[in-house]
Amino acid sequence: MITVLLPVYNAERTLHASIKSLQNQTYKDFEIVIIDNLSTDGSYDIALHWCQRDSRISLLQCSQKGIANALNYGIDQSYSDFILRMDADDIALPSRIERQLHFMLNNPDIDLSGSLAYGFNPTNNTRSFLDVPPKHSGCLAFLKAGLSPFIHPTLIVRRKVFDRLRYDPNFGAEDLELFMRLSFDGFCFANLQERLLIYNTSSVYHGKYSSEAAQVIDRYSHILYGAKNSSLAIAVTQIQNSYITSSPNEQLVNIYSNALSELSRRLIPYSLLLFLRVLCASFRVDLILTMFHASLILKLLLYYFLCDFASSLSILFQFLSPKFINVTICAQNKKSLVLLANCYKH
C-alpha cells in the first residue's frame, strides 16, 4: 500500500488539478492523505469535496503551522509501506506512482528516492528542466555542497525511514535538514532519471531558501567539513555588520581572502555561492573582480559535472545576480565554460 501525503495551505487555485493528476495515475492501489494546515481560503472545502467523491482520499487538519508539522502529522496517521510526497500546486504525470513503486521494489537497498521534474512558473509562463543526481554518491556530494539531492515533492520513502526520523519544524529548509540527518544515519538515496512531476516554481523564492539552507549548513558544518567555525562564517558576519558598505581596506580584503582560500581548499560550492551572493547583493563589483577569477568558477563547474549533474551551469548561476554574471562571463571566460561543459557532458 502507498500513502500520498498532500499538505495544503491556501491552495484553492491549484488543489483541484493536483488531486485530479493523482486520480489519473496508471497505478490505482494507493490512498491520498490531505493535511490542511490552517488554510484561510477555500482549500478545506475543496479537499472535503474530493473526499466525498473518492474513498481513497481522507482529510486531516493540522493545528500547528508549517509544512514540517503537517507532514509529520500525516506520517503519524499513515501505516503504508511506502509514503509518497506531493505538493498541492504540483502535477503528477500519469505513470509517476507506477514507475516510482517499480523502482523501489526492484531496488530494495534504496531507502528513499525521487525523480527528475519539469519546472513551470504560471506567473510568467516559464518552463525549465529540474535535474538531480541518480546515485547515492552524487546525492551525498550534493549534500556536502549544501544542495538538496532531491526535488522534495517527488519523494517516495520506505516506512522504516520515518519510523526512525521525522521532519524538524525548527528549520525552514526542512527537507534539506532531514536529508542531512538521513545521510548521517546511513540511509541510501537515489533518483529515478525520469521526469514524473510538473513542479510549480512560482512559490520557490531562492533567496529565502538559500538563507534557510545556510542555517542547515551551519548546524551540520562540523560533520560536513570537520570544523564548527570557518573563515567564511567570520567573513559573512563581518559583511552583515556593514563592513561591505565601507571602502575597501586591508582588514576587509584579508577577511575575504582568507574565506576564499578556505573555500578553494575545501571546495564547498554552496558556501562560495552564498559568499558571492552577499557580495552581489551589495553591488561590490570591485571586490568581486578583485577576488574571483575564471579558474575558481571552472573548478566549481568541474566539481558539479563530476557529480553527474548535467545542468550544473544553470544551477550554479541561479544563485547569482545578473550583475555578477554580466561582469564575470566575459568572452574568454564564456569560451572556457563552454569547453568544460562539452568535455564533461558525455
How many residues make up the chain in this entry? Answer: 346
Give the Cα separation of 176 and 216 in Å (integer).
7
pLDDT for 34 beyond 60:
yes
Which tops the pLDDT comparison, 246 or 20? 20
Q: What angle do CA 252, 256, 262 make, to 5 degrees?
A: 145
Q: What is the pLDDT of residues 55-64, one digit of tens each?
A: 999 999 999 9
Q: What is the pLDDT of residues 68-77, one digit of tens each?
A: 999 999 999 9
Q: What is the pLDDT of residues 71-125, one digit of tens each?
A: 999 999 999 999 999 999 999 999 999 999 999 999 999 999 999 999 888 887 8
pLDDT at 312 (0 to 100): 43
Q: Say if CB 59 and CB 47 are below 8 A apart.
A: yes
pLDDT for 221 beyond 80:
no
pLDDT at 219 (0 to 100): 77
Q: Which of 29, 25, 16, 206 is nearest to 121 (CA)?
A: 206
pLDDT for 283 beyond 90:
no
Reported as type and span, the H/E element at residue 20 is helix 15-23
Place of cell 540527518: 181
Average pLDDT, the chain: 75
Q: Say if CB 117 and CB 168 are below 8 A apart.
A: no
Place of cell 508549517: 66
pLDDT for 309 beyond 60:
no
DSSP string of 54-108, one letter each residue: -TTEEEEE--S-SHHHHHHHHHHT---SEEEE--TT-EE-TTHHHHHHHHHHT-T
Reported as type and span, the H/E element at residue 198 is strand 189-200
pLDDT at 223 (0 to 100): 66
Split at pLDDT 50, 70, 90, the class of 142 is confident
pTM of the model as a whole: 0.69
Burial profile 213-239: b = 16 or more Cβ within 10 angstroms, e = fewer: bbebbeebbeebbeeeebbbbebbebb
